[in-house]
Structure 1
Amino acid sequence: MTLVAGPGRGMASNRAEQAAERVAELVDSVPPGSRLGTKEELRTLCAVSVGTFNEALRLLQARGLVTVRPGPGGGLFSAEQSPIVRLGNSVLALDARQHDVTEAVRIRDALEPLLVEDALWHASPADVAGLREHIAAMAAAMDAADAVAFVRANWRLHAAIAAISPNALLSSLYASLLDLIESHTLSVLPAGGQPLGEYIAQRLALHRELVDALDRRDREEAFRLIREHSTTTGRHGDAPPSPS
């Protein structure tokens, strides 16, 4: 399965990235906690639509650069940045070239065994129930033949597994990589000759079995599945990476 950037969504994504960079430059020029302005003032400064600015704001908040305060005197403020947030920002500052996204996927794949190990030790019944909700969302997307929704539900599953880890540095870095990959994923195309529906069904089964293994604390099976997860993630020449 290959991720591609379509012309319409790609342009919108680029505008959101550019707006986010413009606000990030403003953040860099003021002390932490400084008021940057209202959303409308900053949207006007960036010369983008409301929808595009909202997407830029989502990126800025995910990167820990700004906070939003409601009410009189509210607006956007530069956030206090911990070393972990700064590390995440260095990852997210990568250019969206194909090579960078491919490398982000490779690093993400390398981190996943560590996160699975933590989930085996620390997942509560409530955590497992939450993971099963993400599996249900993936199944619903498969039934609707919506490949992009399936990929995004899959990423939410992996983000939820990462959130179980008590290692803040590990989970933050993983979330930053996931945000980079997701922010440049616009559509999904089949690759390698396998029908897309068949591939998605296989990936759903693999992730469902992984959650079952975490629930049973079955370390051997969980690591077998995560190895299969990485090795069956398609790499087709110089094409962008497979989603998961």
Structure 2
Amino acid sequence: MIPFIESQQVGEHGTIHRKLDSNSSVLRSFRGLHGQVIEGVGEAIGAGRIPIGAQLVPESIAIESKTSRALVREALRVLQSKGLVIARPRTGTRVRPVSEWDLLDPDVIRWRAGGIESAKQLRELLDLRGAIEPLAARHAARATTPAHLHKLQTAVDAMAVAVARSDWNAFTDADVEFHRGLLEAGGNQIVGQLAGPIESALRVRHALNLIPHELTAGVVASHQSIVDAIVDQDVLRSELASRRIVDVAGAEVISALLSRD
């Protein structure tokens, strides 16, 4: 059995896990003492500081977090609902293999972002965006509504203001609203439900500083091109404009990761 470990930062082969910027646009889902336990244990598991198969001891976690065992058990049930742990009568609560986690859960995405698989996760999320967003743009060009178009244009306008002010936090918020709106614009509810993980991917990218050194008007124009194509009901142009944005984002992430190696 191992105690709850929160402060250890050195990973396999001495790799220092990247910590998310506390001032970033990545928003924590849980608050209060209960939330602190969920976030603390979730981050420790997601980042690999508590290894796969390790047994979590509620008594140790309660002592470390200065909370009650009842509150800790409730927190562990939340983590179990996300696939991170499993509780069994004789073996206790243990960390499950990554393949059994809910990898599209926004909290799981955020918790994994500080670990040694951060780059792998980002590449996989970019693959997801590349498969889903162009499809959503195609659907939007065929079946969007004035309300959805207004939401997309409002997001682009907010991006333009953020670029003029060189405000990355405001830009990320506007970018999230745009891509959420794009996924919802085609009316496919299943595609729309992928907005959560894609929002987490966008925010984690910012938090890990895998972004260009400066904001330019070009990024606004690329998003505006999607809106214009949807307005024109041009299915092919909508798809291509969306795919171009995802491809550029992927290139920027890979470039930023290579510069750190």
TM-score range, shorter chain: 0.5 to 0.7
Match of 2:207 among 174, 183, 186: 186
1:189/1:196 contact within 8 Å kept: no
Paired position in structure 1 for 2:10: none
Q: Alpha carbons of 1:113 and 1:14: their partners in 2 closer, same or farther (altered >3 Å)?
A: closer
Given the alignment of the two structures, is residue 196 of structure 1 paired with residue 217 of structure 2, yes or no? no
Distance (Å, rounded) in 2 between the aligned partners of 1:175 and 1:88: 16
Superposition map of 1:1-244 within 5 A: 8-9=22-23, 19-20=37-38, 89-92=102-105, 93-94=108-109, 95-96=112-113, 97-183=118-204, 185-186=206-207, 188=209, 191=212, 196-197=214-215, 200-233=216-249, 234-235=251-252, 237=254, 239-240=256-257
CA RMSD for the aligned pairs?
3.9
Distance (Å, rounded) in 2 between the aligned partners of 1:90 and 1:7: 22
Distance (Å, rounded) in 2 between the aligned partners of 1:238 and 1:117: 29
Answer with 1 or 2: which has the greater Rg.
2
Larger RCO: 1 or 2 (CA < 8 Å, sep 6+): 1
Deviation of 1:23 (Å): 9.9
1:118/1:166 contact within 8 Å kept: yes
Distance (Å, rounded) in 2 between the aligned partners of 1:177 and 1:186: 14
The amino acid of 2:245's aligned partner reads H
- Please, which runs of 5 or more residues in structure 2 have no aligned partner? 1-17, 43-63, 68-77, 83-99
1:139/1:204 contact within 8 Å kept: yes
Q: After the TM superposition, which of the residue ranges 147-156 and 210-219 deviates more from structure 2?
A: 147-156
CA-to-partner distance for each residue in 1:84-142, whole Å, 9 max, x for gaps? xxx99441235222321231122122211111121112211221112111111101101
Q: Alpha carbons of 1:223 and 1:164: their partners in 2 closer, same or farther (altered >3 Å)?
A: closer
CA-to-partner distance for each residue in 1:42-65, whole Å, 9 max, x for gaps? xxx9769xxxxxxxxxxx9xxx99
**Identity fraction in percent:** 20
Q: Alpha carbons of 1:47 and 1:183: their partners in 2 closer, same or farther (altered >3 Å)?
A: farther
CA-to-partner distance for each residue in 1:167-216, whole Å, 9 max, x for gaps? 2222212432322442563264665xxx623xx31110011121011011
Q: Alpha carbons of 1:222 and 1:15: their partners in 2 closer, same or farther (altered >3 Å)?
A: closer
Distance (Å, rounded) in 2 between the aligned partners of 1:113 and 1:221: 10
- Please, which runs of 5 or more residues in structure 1 have no aligned partner? 25-44, 49-59, 66-86
Distance (Å, rounded) in 1 between the aligned partners of 2:40 and 2:217: 41
TM-score, normalising length: structure 1: 0.58
Between the two proteins, the alignment pairs up a number of residues equal to 177
2:136/2:182 contact within 8 Å kept: yes
Q: Give the secondary structure class of the aligned counterpart of 1:196.
A: coil
Q: Give the secondary structure class of the aligned counterpart of 1:91.
A: coil
Q: Alpha carbons of 1:167 and 1:236: their partners in 2 closer, same or farther (altered >3 Å)?
A: closer
1:108/1:177 contact within 8 Å kept: yes
Q: Alpha carbons of 1:239 and 1:19: their partners in 2 closer, same or farther (altered >3 Å)?
A: farther
Distance (Å, rounded) in 2 between the aligned partners of 1:20 and 1:180: 20
Distance (Å, rounded) in 2 between the aligned partners of 1:106 and 1:47: 41
